[in-house]
Structure 1
Amino acid sequence: MHDIDLTPDLHQRFCAALTRASGIRLGENKRTLVETRLRKRVQELGLADTTAYMGWVFQRDNLAAEMPVIINLLTTNKTDFFREPAHYEYLRTRVLPAHLGGETFTFWSAASATGEEAYSAAMLMAEHFHGAPAYTILGSDISQNVLSRARKGVYYANQLRDIPAHLAAKYTVPGKNAKGHEVFRITADLREHVRFSPMNLMLDSYPVYRGFHAVFLRNVLIYFDEAVQRQVIGRIVNHIRPGGYLFVGHSETMQVRDPRLIQCASAIYRKEQG
């Protein structure tokens, strides 16, 4: 295989197509990253180099079919259990106790990656509702690959390090994977409360429930330009009930400019208007 030789012009054309499809922005400084992430796909297709791959994508009208593969290769999907713990503490001590009984608590992890965020929230809700079927969680992501892993709910021991010990003992089950390595799976009872579904935040409208009590939209806005950030936040807020909460990443607070929201803690907002 020849050295990868993605030209600036092809890189720019490729990144523009990626942004139109997913909202993700990759500048010229990410050309090496793009080349590295695409290398395996170039080999799978038996092509000479990245330039040949771009020709295959653009000249042979393969872009639409190939885009899900591209997104899976280029999205980082970095997440951890109980990442940004102050958010989970606010959920546990402020949001859940204020919830009125008799109504299912609804939660959306809007960039759920491999599921750690959704399952972290599920553990807190299971504790708060004492195992009653009083909550439901939607996890969504643009990458089908990570959603498949999220549905399985299987993690290595080092991935569980930030779960409080009593919760890890209660909501994970040890076992072995196909290679004989020790792994831990989220308990079936907890997984029953969590549904994972593909979602592209670039859609004009989202085919999900309107009226969530809380939405985590964390560490995804940083990949979008300012105009897309405003659009995504506006559409997300449409799906939060009055009195419900939006959580964003701590580095993303400057991007939140929706008049229906008031800030109530660091990177946490409450919807005050309908």
Structure 2
Amino acid sequence: MSQALLRVTETPARTGQDRLSDADFSRIATLIGGHVGIKLPPAKRLMVEGRLRKRMRSLNCASLTDYCRYLFHENGLENELVHVIDAVTTNKTDFFRENEHFVLLRQKLIPSLTARRPAGAKPRLKLWSAASSNGAEAYTIAMVLADMVERGDDFQFAILGTDISTEMLAAGRQATYPSEMIAPVPLDMQERYLMRGRTTSWHGEVRIVPELRRLVRFQRLNLMEETYPVDRDVDVIFLRNVLIYFDKPTQEAVVSRLVGHLRPGGFLILGHSESMIGTNLQLKQWAPGVFENTSGLR
């Protein structure tokens, strides 16, 4: 449930009659809707065709028709489902995207969380990027918190990044990004938290420093599952710009499950465009898209 935008380079003129039939597109849309919760309306058909052609060729299928025959009639789906999900889900993320949330995290949310911990013990904060895509959000969180610690705040932290896309999880673990992608990262943080390659194989790329990579863990998770294998005392959960792809009942179910993993006083952060989704829940709104779990607070 990541969000990466892929360009469709194939056009009908180049691909001839290699198109999904109405029945095959309907099957794929139903498959993705059922497993991931994302709706694929007819307007997305060209996009889906373009993305599946690459996977089709890697399996030496002659056409999309042959690929769908393998999926739905030759028992290929068991092995292929993860690749179909990787191909058609959308991954769009950036470092310091919607930066107001990271300013609030530094100035308000982390101080609120640490103030609730017992005196004398160094707090260990848990943060979860629940649609982590290629890891840019998780590492942005890590940079902000590491900077706070370096400036004198006394806490420890660990970050979990989850996503349904195996390709995006692999990218997060690798933690290597095009140089142009880190433009939003403040220059002082670039110097401390990014390594620039000096060999030809690293030309034009940067990598997150090992000290931060050790603090971020990635695992596969489908938000459509009824339960999540995640701790239930998480301090901050980020789920930004994902719920907009779900229908309202799915939005409410996912948010309700996520809130169940927040400690009392913990925070759920949604995207700015999703700022009203959580307002019908028993949560206290701090800012657009930012909600505090007030259950269990005295």
Q: CA 1:149–1:177 in 2, change beyond 3 Å: closer, same or farther?
A: farther
Output the TM-score relative to the length of structure 1: 0.95
Q: Equivalent residue of 1:10, what SS?
A: helix
Per-residue CA shift, 1:202-238, capped at 9, x if unaligned? Answer: 1110001111110100111122111111111111000
Partner of 1:208: 230
- Answer yes or no: is 1:7 the counterpart of 2:29: no
- Answer yes or no: is 1:90 the counterpart of 2:110: no
Q: Equivalent residue of 1:270, what SS?
A: strand
For residue 5 of structure 1, report the CA deviation from its aligned partner.
1.8
After the TM superposition, list the runs of 4 or more consecutive aligned residues in structure 1 that deviate by more than 3 angstroms.
176-180
Name the aligned partner's letter for residue 62 of structure 1. Answer: G
Greater Cα shift, 246-255 or 127-136: 127-136
From 138, 147, 152, the equivalent of 1:118 is 138
Output the TM-score relative to the length of structure 2: 0.87
Greater Cα shift, 110-119 or 44-53: 44-53
Per-residue CA shift, 1:34-66, capped at 9, x if unaligned? Answer: 100001112222223212211110011222321
In the aligned structure 2, how far is the partner of 1:43 from the partner of 1:183?
A: 28
C-alpha contact (below 8 Å) 1:233/1:258 kept by paired residues: no
Partner of 2:79: 65
Count of aligned residue pairs for this structure pair? 274
For residue 257 of structure 1, report the CA deviation from its aligned partner.
4.8
In the aligned structure 2, how far is the partner of 1:88 from the partner of 1:257?
A: 21
In the aligned structure 2, how far is the partner of 1:259 from the partner of 1:133?
A: 30
**Identity, % of aligned positions:** 38
In the aligned structure 2, how far is the partner of 1:218 from the partner of 1:157?
A: 24
In the TM superposition, 1:131-170 aligns within 5 A as 134-170=156-192
**Structure 1, gaps ≥5 residues long:** none
In the aligned structure 2, how far is the partner of 1:96 from the partner of 1:38?
A: 43
In the aligned structure 2, how far is the partner of 1:235 from the partner of 1:211?
A: 13
C-alpha contact (below 8 Å) 2:195/2:208 kept by paired residues: yes
Q: Equivalent residue of 2:273, what SS?
A: coil
Q: CA 1:15–1:177 in 2, change beyond 3 Å: closer, same or farther?
A: farther
Q: CA 1:178–1:221 in 2, change beyond 3 Å: closer, same or farther?
A: farther
- Answer yes or no: is 1:104 the counterpart of 2:124: yes
Q: CA 1:53–1:257 in 2, change beyond 3 Å: closer, same or farther?
A: farther
The alignment yields a C-alpha RMSD, in angstroms, of: 1.7
Q: Equivalent residue of 1:204, what SS?
A: coil
Partner of 1:248: 270
In the aligned structure 2, how far is the partner of 1:133 from the partner of 1:140?
A: 23
Q: CA 1:236–1:180 in 2, change beyond 3 Å: closer, same or farther?
A: closer
Q: CA 1:252–1:107 in 2, change beyond 3 Å: closer, same or farther?
A: same
- Answer yes or no: is 1:228 the counterpart of 2:242: no
In the aligned structure 2, how far is the partner of 1:5 from the partner of 1:156?
A: 33
Name the aligned partner's letter for residue 226 of structure 1. Answer: K
